[in-house]
Amino acid sequence: MKHCVIFFVTLTAAFQLAFEIQAETNTNVIVAFVTSNATPLHLGFAGYTTEMLGKGEEYGDTNMQRYAAMLQPGWLLFPGGTTGDAFNWQTGYTDTNWVTTIGTNEGPNNDASNLCAGTVQPLLGKGGVWFTNFAALADNLGGAQIIVCINAFTDTNPADAGAFAAFALSHHIHVAAWELCNEPYLFYGTNQFFTNGADYAAKMLPYFTAITNADSHAVVAVFFSDPARPGQSWDNTLTGYGSTNQYWNAAVWHYYPELPADTNFCDLMAMDNGNLYSNSTLYVTNVLMGNNASNTAFLLTEFAPGSASDTGTVNPPTSTLYGGVYAAEMVMRLSTCPEMIFAGSYQLVDQAGVDTTDNFDNAVDNAAANNYVTNTEGLPFGYFLSAQGSCEAIAYWAMNRSVAVYGTTVGTNCPTVPMDTNGMSFMPAIYAQAYEGGNGRRYVVLTNKGSNAVPVQITQDGVALTNQFLETFVTGTNPAAVNSNPPTNNIVIQTDMATNPVTVPEYSVTRLEWTVTNVPSPALATAAANGFLDLTWAGLTNVIYNVQGETNLIGTWTTLGRVVNVTTNFSFTNWESAPQQYYRLAVP
């Protein structure tokens, strides 16, 4: 495991006392939600970028999948972030000529070419990576949806993007959204890929056209800049182009806060608290919605609690307990915006998601150096959940099983935490959001950013709930705690039964859930036409189904996809050449 160095300094007595006083309450804080006028929630809302091109792990590693499933991802992104800038999806490898092209167009202070070059040997040693294998990973993680980032930096033929969309359709792999270039705002200026945001938009139009010609229902996103980056030149010129020529139907952004180095952890938390307030829903409503057409969908497909790193390590508070509280709350806040379709952090397999004790880079590098291909799936990577990932798993479970967001408020007597480093601004320590499950259940997810437990009373439509809750939570006394393997006081997922009032522990993410109604299984029917097998059913209102298949009724059922109640069919290809298959719908 790679360890990050966390800096601590002694707080002044006055500030420390203020911090503690602000974090205490002796009366119940009312967390109220109303079930009328719920906001629809996009299927598979919360997920992860999956950047594994330069790593020893492989998509088919069942041990990795077992831990990744604990994170409850609703979507995964292929092939990754910056390491995909020279990746060729058709060959499964990084193109060394394209790496050179990245190097001549990346500008100063951009390490993209080195990151891309770092994937060449691992991919050779693994025998490449393939979209079909990635799709199988998504299926095995509960039918996670797929987002694809198109390499339009170095793959300069837009027809290749159209071929990708056609390939996905012909193999019945649903791509929920397409991104055009990863973080192109890092590549604009003199002698770089783009002169400005408008030039980027103009150059992406042929890629958009190729994708939508292949798939008329495709959601295709252009990139707005990271709000932490100085200046607005990229966004202004992109918006100027879009004011008369907006062809895209989605916009995507990444967010890595610029936190000062060598800062004590309490100040890091205070600054990130402020970021939660200013760069979540407010960014969507004030920036993205104001600069795009009214029917534009929005995606946040990378963010971290700490500053970005080009070294493969993480900067605090990423990977910590507080980092997990921050990440869960960021996605929860964004889930309240009906224009948002996906949000999630960076990334699935690293110190912020599923961590390892050994990434076995040497195994794939040695294979490449000696001209053979190795399979690393059986190697002892020592997988374990990071502290941050454990927090995210609590919240993602609820969001990715829900169809709507209930309006939720937290009482004004809630204790507060600082959202700046001078003790001038404060925000509630508790954030809460209620969800309508697509499985006959309801959820309330709560974060506590403070150092003291808080008693809360959950009310529904003005009435305090009297039923029992299944309570699932993570907590710890040290917000800077990180997990390790073998474990040493690790942050772990815990369960209990609870009733009102519920005590929300310090530095925690808590999920409360209870059953409202039992969902009966619908009757299934099949029909074949034009090479497709259609599985159909009469769906119920506000229900999510996992479509599962198996060749043996007593075997392990495989999730083939996840659909919402408005969908009453699921199609298969290559069904005639496969063994006899049984199907069922399961409520997650």
Query: What pLDDT, on the 0 to 100 scale, is given for residue 568?
Result: 62
User: Tokens 């806060």 appear where?
Assistant: 257
Give 232 or 10, the one with higher predicted confidence: 232
E strands in 181-303 = 220-223, 250-255, 297-303
The string of pLDDT tens digits covering residues 553-562 is 777 787 777 8
Amino acid at residue number 492: V
Task: Please determine whether the domains at 41-396 and 524-586 fall in the same fold group of CATH.
Answer: no
The closest of 275, 344, 328 to 306, measured between CA atoms, is: 275
Confidence of residue 528 (pLDDT cuts 50, 70, 90): low
Q: Tokens for 438, please give them.
A: 């697509």
Phi and psi torsions of 8, nearest 5°: -125, 145
Query: Which sequence spans correspond to the domains of the chain?
Result: 13-39+403-515, 41-396, 524-586
Query: What pLDDT, on the 0 to 100 scale, is given for residue 19?
Result: 42
pLDDT exceeds 80 at position 571? no
- For residues 77 and 348, the answer to whether their CB atoms sit within 8 Å is no
Query: What pLDDT, on the 0 to 100 scale, is given for residue 356?
Result: 97
For residue 410, list its beta bridge partners.
31
Count of other CB atoms within 10 angstroms of residue 517: 13
423/416 Cα distance (integer angstroms): 11
The reply to whether CATH 2.30.30 applies to domain 524-586 is no
Q: Which CATH number fits domain 13-39+403-515: 3.40.50.2000, 3.40.50.920, 2.60.40.1180, 3.30.43.10?
A: 2.60.40.1180
Beta strands 430-437 and 354-355 are unpaired
- What's 148's DSSP letter? E
- For residues 484 and 478, the answer to whether their CB atoms sit within 8 Å is no
Across the chain, mean pLDDT equals 91
450/427 Cα distance (integer angstroms): 10
User: Tokens 């292929």 appear where?
Assistant: 78
Report pTM: 0.92
The closest of 226, 532, 510 to 395, measured between CA atoms, is: 510
The closest of 437, 442, 448 to 461, measured between CA atoms, is: 442
Q: Tokens for 145, please give them.
A: 């949806």
The string of pLDDT tens digits covering residues 316-348 is 999 999 999 999 999 999 999 999 999 999 999
The string of pLDDT tens digits covering residues 235-269 is 999 999 999 999 999 999 999 999 998 999 999 99
154/148 Cα distance (integer angstroms): 16
Residue 74, CB-side half-sphere exposure with 13 Å CA sphere: 32
What is the CATH number that goes with domain 41-396? Answer: 3.20.20.80
Query: What pLDDT, on the 0 to 100 scale, is given for residue 254?
Result: 98
